[in-house]
Chain A
Amino acid sequence: MTQPPSTPPARPGVSVPDLLVALALTALGIALFVGSREIPFGINAVVGPRVFPLIVSVGLTALGVLLTVNVLRGERAEPAAEEDTDLDAPVNLAAPGIILGGFVLGAAVLTTAGFVIGTAIMYFSVAWAFGERRVGLMTGVALAVALVTYVAFTRGLGLSLPPGVLKGIL
């Protein structure tokens, strides 16, 4: 079950991260509104392609303003208690950074180096971010998982995934 949150919910003052989120949502609403104004009315249609985007953007902006007001009055969000998480632990932002970095790198080389290499990089970076340090084992498992996935999806299910440098071998 969920553990009680470590921070008492009613700390005085405005939470800066919460405020940034509220402002970002408001800004997104405004940006959508400006974008909707640029969509033409459409020809001989009663309701053109811009009406619905206008409704959505106005709604989003209004809700964003409401949230901003609430945050300025001291409301703050409680982080979700998920499986495998410890809300009392210090937040470690390096780990998600490593995962994202590995993902972007793997995606960037996916077509040139190929699917197996690309996803093996992703696999390795997640395992590393989750605190695994047995490098030899991680490399082996990463390559094995990527290879088995590639073969299963291409041979077994007829999808086409980029072979890259392993072209001809696979």
Chain B
Amino acid sequence: MDALTSLFAGFETALNPLNLLWALIGVTLGTLVGVLPGIGPALTVALLLPVTAKLPPVSAFIMFAGIYYGGMFGGSTTSILLNTPGESASIITALEGNKMARKGRAAAALATAAIGSFIAGTIGTLLLTFAAPAIADIAVQITPSAKFALIMLAFVTISATFGGSPLRGLLSLFVGLAIGLVGTDLQSGQARFALGRPELLDGIDFITVVIGLFAIGETLYVASRLRKGKDSVIKLEGGATMSKQDWRRSWGPWLRGTALGFPFGAIPAGGAEIPTFLSYTLEKRLSKHPEEFGQGAIEGVAGPEAANNASAAGVLVPLLTLGLPTSATAAILLAAFQQYGLQPGPLLFITNGDLVWGLIASLYIGNVMLLALNLPLAPVWARLLLIPRPFLYAGILVFSTVGVYSLNNSVFDLGLLALFGVIGYGMRRFDFPVTPAIIGVVLGPTAEAQFRTALQQSNGDFSIFVRQPFTAFLMLCVLAALVVPQVLKFRAARQAA
């Protein structure tokens, strides 16, 4: 039962009054920014990075944990009251929750989302507590060649297997990899693609790329095709509450959604989108009144919301144990670790155990805080949705500027920010997914380091990638992830013809 001992030590760290305060600030800011329309969880975390810049690592990560879960909570509020999903994982919540809200059941929709998120988050964090040390123990023995193969698998599944267009996903990934190459090669001290600019010798800050692609790209794109007319924000009287019958209809979907969401978050399968859809279909099939689905069925909010949050906890398993981000938000968390000179992975449990366990303990605490904040304060968050779009997007741009400028106090970085903003605009206009590029920037340098270490050990013999059984197995998975979807598509097309 080491996990429990470590967790209690983690609670000692997290329950220190000052850290409790940071957790509270984290969940409040996370919810606040997450509620704003147009800002998904990934951007929430990226925009709030500079807020933690001057904190000691343990406090910073406790605050991050709060921001991470808070951003998820905030997103569901927006989906229900405004019918504008901040990210693909909230599409279902927007569909069914907004229908409920239009029928005057906004309070129940918000309550089932909040309580479901709490239950899923807590169960997910429990699973993380026990799974993470066990996986970390095994992960210590993974060879560099297998680590490289694992990263390749993440690359392929995130960019090609689950996206709409594998070619566009891979192109996005390779552009990300190219961005990650800029700067000084750490092994040889050789400058690469720095174009003679001293600012580029340190490489391009990941945060600049994320904020450029997400925030600036989104602002430019929305401005070019602005929807005229007023939003219909649902008015909310009083806090979020549920009737007895709502409880009876919610608890099953909560648990089933959690069971679906957690494993999907833990494998590199493109985040929370798939389990939320699966959960919705499952609830519809199990329901005694399937005719209500699409008209505001509470199960259609409870299940997918739980799946979404359980997946957010699941994402932390590969992130903390292997240093492998499986979503854009996880990639930003990984970059935050790297800013503090910490490399998430099995060794982190040994070298910085107090930090990791403090982080995990604060996830439990953050979940309780979020429930306490969200049920009574729902009307307050709802007021934020009334900010007129021009002022909202202008504010996002100012915050983006602060975040990027404060990295190095350099105007050159702001030029890069504008450049990535234009690229982000192009990606939205020409249907390139943004997440693969983000993963490419973050994991590219790690992939290269593992690739080179593996070949150093084998004296340049490339067969090392197929000789070791585990590496070979992973490489087969990579191949399958590339080929199988194409074959299925081809067969479907032939049958249709």
Query: Interface stretch among B106-114, B116-124, B252-260, B404-412?
Result: B404-412
**Majority DSSP secondary structure for residues of B touching A:** helix
Is the Cβ of A85 less than 8 Å from the Cβ of B227? Answer: yes
Q: Tell me the bound Cα distance from A53 to B394 in angstroms.
A: 38
Is A39 an interface residue when CB atoms closer than 8 A count as contact?
yes
Task: Count contacts between A and B, CB distance < 8 Å.
Answer: 233
Is the Cβ of B406 less than 8 Å from the Cβ of A103? Answer: no
Is the Cβ of A99 less than 8 Å from the Cβ of B220? Answer: yes
Is the Cβ of B226 less than 8 Å from the Cβ of A86? Answer: yes
Is the Cβ of B402 less than 8 Å from the Cβ of A1? Answer: no
Is the Cβ of B228 less than 8 Å from the Cβ of A100? Answer: no
Among candidates B50, B86, B225, B444, residue contacting A92 with C-beta atoms closer than 8 Å = B225
Is the Cβ of A95 less than 8 Å from the Cβ of B460? Answer: no
- Contact partners of A95 in chain B: CB under 8 A: 223-224, 226
Is the Cβ of B171 less than 8 Å from the Cβ of A63? Answer: yes
Is A49 an interface residue when CB atoms closer than 8 A count as contact?
yes
Among candidates A48, A51, A100, A149, residue contacting B398 with C-beta atoms closer than 8 Å = A149
Q: Tell me the bound Cα distance from A128 to B50 in angstroms.
A: 27
- Contact partners of B218 in chain A: CB under 8 A: 82
Is A166 an interface residue when CB atoms closer than 8 A count as contact?
no
Is A45 an interface residue when CB atoms closer than 8 A count as contact?
yes
Among candidates B37, B193, B393, residue contacting A126 with C-beta atoms closer than 8 Å = B393
Kindly identify, within residues 28 to 85 of chain A, every residue whose CB is under 8 Å from any CB belonging to chain B.
28-29, 32, 35, 39-40, 42-43, 45-49, 51-53, 56-57, 59-60, 63-64, 66-67, 70, 77-80, 82-85
Instruction: Bin the interface of chain B by size.
Output: 35 or more
Among candidates A57, A83, A153, A158, residue contacting B178 with C-beta atoms closer than 8 Å = A57
Is the Cβ of A157 less than 8 Å from the Cβ of B54? Answer: yes
Is the Cβ of A63 less than 8 Å from the Cβ of B405? Answer: no
Given contacts A83-B85, A95-B223, A159-B50, contact A49 B192 (CB under 8 A): yes
Q: Tell me the bound Cα distance from A83 to B227 in angstroms.
A: 9
Is the Cβ of B406 less than 8 Å from the Cβ of A100? Answer: no
30 pairs from A and B in contact (CB 8 Å cutoff): A1-B95, A28-B178, A46-B455, A46-B456, A47-B455, A47-B456, A52-B451, A53-B192, A53-B193, A57-B178, A59-B177, A70-B167, A79-B225, A82-B222, A84-B84, A85-B227, A86-B228, A96-B224, A99-B223, A100-B422, A118-B401, A130-B223, A130-B390, A130-B394, A132-B388, A145-B394, A149-B402, A153-B50, A159-B50, A159-B402
